[in-house]
């Protein structure tokens, strides 16, 4: 009987051990499942969402990136002061690439691999963005919302380049800008049209757009002359263009070389109709040229930031303050980028992932931001088609 009692005791002990083992396993599996379900996407915590930005903050084009960064920082700070988005604050990490392609690619990789950002915003330039997309944020599946580029290579279709899935444009293409410029010039009866362009991806994309737009009118550039990237060496371009005495010159250049080109052309006795693409930055060109800026035309891809007629402009003006000197097209564009990014984050809810962000962005089809529309789809991320033509008036005021 004693042996039977011992046997029954051991049997009950073994059963208890097995029960404890099963309970421990269930607790462990539950803990793992809880950890997996509560683990957020990289760059996202329960309290913050980290966003990265690489743009020129120094050098000849530093004013462009600085204007965008200031607007993004102000926008994020305003969001954070009102409780963030779905309980999370926005954190911005910015790096200076000086408008150099290698630095832009390196910064993109640093933001992704070291800073662990969730998404990117407000990049600058065609070549840097294309390289960064194909070498950095595309392969890493990190979305970029907004870049100052109208290059067709960034617009799709996505089936042509899978990395385009992570590039969301908010501005119209250079093709749309140059078509509007050529239409404007030819409507005035001008046919002797020259082009000066930067010797880089931006300049080449703009030149291609001008050629296409002129061909639609059975025309071609009288001459096309280049200026080295990040350079003010304009004399050879001036010499080549002055030989044809153009009625108009389309300038696919940034503000410092544009200003140098215009001044040198005037010194050479050349006074054609000058007209530039939107990346030139109207306010920056005025500061650089002074009175010599008067009469220059500029295509624009954002609403006029000095008039509060549109709700999107009202929101921008309220963000940066009532002083007109604070307004700029670059600030306006950065504001639109922020609106697009934060709307998609808000719609993603608490369980924010990069895939959910992309899915929500692709649902913004014909989305009205307040008089300015944005459209994305699973096949194309073109953003806006809006193009306007402005002119610099007396006193350096930008007029529509």
Domain range list for the chain: 1-39, 48-172+307-385, 174-300
Mean pLDDT of the chain: 91
- 31 band by pLDDT with thresholds 50, 70 and 90: very low
| DSSP helix/strand/coil, 9 | helix
State residue 111's pLDDT score.
Answer: 98
Question: Does 26 have pLDDT greater than 80?
Answer: no
Question: Does 1 have pLDDT greater than 60?
Answer: no
Tens-digit pLDDT profile for residues 250-297: 999 999 999 999 999 999 999 999 999 999 999 899 999 999 999 999
State residue 356's pLDDT score.
Answer: 98
Tens-digit pLDDT profile for residues 303-343: 999 999 999 999 999 999 978 889 999 999 999 999 999 99
Question: Does 29 have pLDDT greater than 90?
Answer: no
Task: For the full predicted model, state whether its pTM sits above 0.85.
Answer: yes
- CATH code at 174-300: 3.40.50.2300
Question: Does 20 have pLDDT greater than 90?
Answer: no
| DSSP helix/strand/coil, 228 | strand
State residue 322's pLDDT score.
Answer: 76
Segment 171-184 shows an average pLDDT of 97
Segment 54-72 shows an average pLDDT of 95
Tens-digit pLDDT profile for residues 346-361: 999 999 999 999 999 9
- Indicate the length of the chain as a whole number: 400
Which architecture does CATH list for 48-172+307-385?
3-Layer(aba) Sandwich (3.40)
Rounded Cα gap, residues 161 and 360, in angstroms? 21
State which H helix or E strand residue 30 sits in: helix 2-38
Tokens coding 4: 């039977």
How many CB atoms sit inside 10 A of residue 38's CB?
Answer: 9
How many CB atoms sit inside 10 A of residue 132's CB?
Answer: 29
| DSSP helix/strand/coil, 163 | helix
E strands, 296-380, are 297-300, 367-368, 373-374
């Amino acid at each position: 009987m004693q042996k039977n009692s011992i046997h029954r005791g051991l049997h009950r002990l073994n059963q208890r051990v097995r029960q404890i083992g099963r309970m421990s396993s269930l607790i462990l599996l539950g803990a793992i499942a809880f950890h997996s379900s509560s683990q957020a996407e990289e760059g996202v915590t329960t309290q913050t969402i980290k966003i990265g930005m690489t743009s020129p903050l120094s050098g000849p084009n530093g004013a462009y990136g600085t204007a965008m960064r200031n607007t993004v920082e102000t926008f994020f700070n305003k969001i954070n002061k009102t409780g963030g988005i779905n309980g999370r604050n926005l954190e911005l990490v910015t790096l200076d690439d000086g408008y150099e392609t290698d630095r832009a690619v390196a910064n993109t990789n640093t933001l992704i691999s070291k800073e662990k950002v969730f998404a990117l915003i407000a990049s600058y330039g065609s070549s840097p963005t294309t390289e960064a997309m194909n070498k950095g944020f595309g392969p890493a599946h990190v979305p970029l919302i907004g870049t100052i580029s109208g290059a067709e290579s960034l617009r799709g279709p996505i089936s042509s380049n899978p990395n385009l899935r992570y590039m969301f444009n908010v501005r119209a293409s250079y093709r749309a800008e140059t078509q509007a410029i050529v239409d404007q010039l030819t409507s005035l009866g001008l046919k002797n049209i020259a082009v000066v362009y930067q010797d880089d991806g931006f300049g080449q994309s703009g030149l291609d757009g001008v050629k296409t737009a002129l061909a639609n009118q059975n025309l071609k550039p009288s001459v096309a002359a280049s200026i080295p990237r990040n350079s003010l060496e304009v004399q050879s371009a001036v010499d080549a263009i002055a030989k044809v005495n153009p009625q108009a010159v389309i300038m696919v250049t940034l503000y410092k070389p544009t200003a140098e080109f215009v001044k040198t052309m005037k010194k050479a006795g050349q006074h054609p109709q000058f007209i530039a693409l939107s990346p030139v930055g109207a306010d920056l060109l005025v500061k650089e040229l002074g009175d010599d800026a008067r009469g220059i035309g500029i295509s624009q891809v954002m609403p006029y930031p000095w008039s509060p007629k549109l709700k999107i402009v009202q929101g921008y003006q309220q963000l940066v303050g009532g002083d007109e000197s604070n307004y700029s097209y670059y600030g306006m564009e950065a504001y639109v980028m922020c609106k697009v990014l934060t709307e998609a984050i808000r719609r993603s809810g608490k369980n924010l992932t990069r895939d959910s962000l992309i899915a929500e962005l692709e649902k913004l089809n014909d989305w009205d931001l307040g008089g300015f529309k944005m459209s994305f789809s699973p096949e194309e991320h073109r953003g806006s088609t809006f193009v306007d033509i402005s002119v610099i008036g007396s006193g350096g005021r930008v007029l529509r």
